[in-house]
Amino acid sequence: MSEKRQHPPTVRLRRLAAELRRLRASAGLTREDVTEKKGINTATLYRIEKARTRPQKRTLMALLDLYEATEEQRADLLAIQSGSTDQGWLRPYHSELPEEYTAYIGFEAEARAVRNYESLFIPGLAQTESYAHAVIKGVWAAATQKEVEQRVQARMERQALLTKERPIQLWAIIDEAAIRRTVGGRAVMKEQARHLLQLMEEPHVTFQVIPFDKGAHAGMPGCFVHMDFPDPADPELVYVDTPAGDLFLETEAEIRRYKSMFEHLQAVALGPNDSADLLAKVAESRD
């Protein structure tokens, strides 16, 4: 019998985990100290602090007592604990998508800003349906038609983040290869280039292209996404999609490294106006 699929972590669960790690560190305690004083299994505490499980209320209360949390901290963390598994963004068919991808969709849905670098693809939030269909079918060669359609539908639903009342802030940087490679045919790429030009007119969207003549640059090892969230207390997150599996990075050192990398890419890329000119030329070349 297959195991019941677990929900991916939410932003709130990650925040709870981060706050508990911080409180323990402030109290000068190791996980082993907590086990000795409160009888909480070390492995369980590790899972709580890594946002892999939600602590039961009595466990959370015991930790807050041990860490001598203030009344304000208690109220805040208990409120987070009570809603830490909410997954309002899930659709019925999402249960058939890979768990890492549904986790990414959830984090993206709650993000304030997304900074996305892509070397070979148009960013998912900026893809047309035709381009998304062609690229998913091409990359995921073993997928059934149903699986392809589910991925395309999920990608199109994600783009509502750009048109909601308080839209997500998107800053996307791509290598010129992403707009030069013919995915789905010339007509599909012309439509995609024009769609990007329309998106660039929105105040919450910034788009830059790194031209071929810039040579080697910091983004060549691979793509990544950096997210931050409306509440500054929610930890920032970096997502990296690799052939070996998806990675969610959140340590301060990792966040700093990818922030620095994105800043280098901003500096080497064409400015938004010159990027728009290049996109317009690419669209014309598809006639």
pLDDT tens digit string along 155-169? 999 999 999 999 999
Tell me, which fold does domain 11-82 have in CATH?
434 Repressor (Amino-terminal Domain) (1.10.260)
Higher pLDDT, 274 or 251: 274
Q: What is the pLDDT of residue 10?
A: 66
Q: In 230-267, which positions are buried (b, 16+ CB within 10 angstroms) versus exposed (e)?
A: eeeebbbbbbbbeeeeeebbeeeebbeebeebbeebbe
Q: How far is CA 85 from the centre of its chain?
A: 18
Of 19-33, 85-99, 123-137, the range with the lowest mean pLDDT is 85-99
Q: What pLDDT was estimated at residue 5?
A: 39
Mean pLDDT, range 274-279, rounded to an integer: 97
How far is the C-alpha of 246 from the C-alpha of 174, rounded, in Å? 20
| CATH number for the domain formed by residue range(s) 95-285 | 3.30.870
Q: Where in the chain is the domain with CATH 1.10.260.40?
A: 11-82
The structure's pTM equals: 0.76
Q: Give dist(CA 80, CA 10) in Å, integer.
A: 11
Q: Give the separation between CA 91 and CA 69, rounded to whole angstroms.
A: 37
Asked which of 39-53, 156-170, 194-208, 255-269 is least confident by mean pLDDT, the reply is: 39-53
Q: Which has more confidence, 50 or 97?
A: 50
Average pLDDT over residues 63-73: 92
CA contacts within 13 A on the Cβ side of 87: 17
What is the β-pairing status of strands 224-228 and 245-249? unpaired
**Distances, alpha carbon 182 to alpha carbons 57, 101, 118, in Å:** 54, 25, 16
What is the chain's mean pLDDT, rounded? 88
Residues of each domain in the chain carrying CATH 3.30.870: 95-285
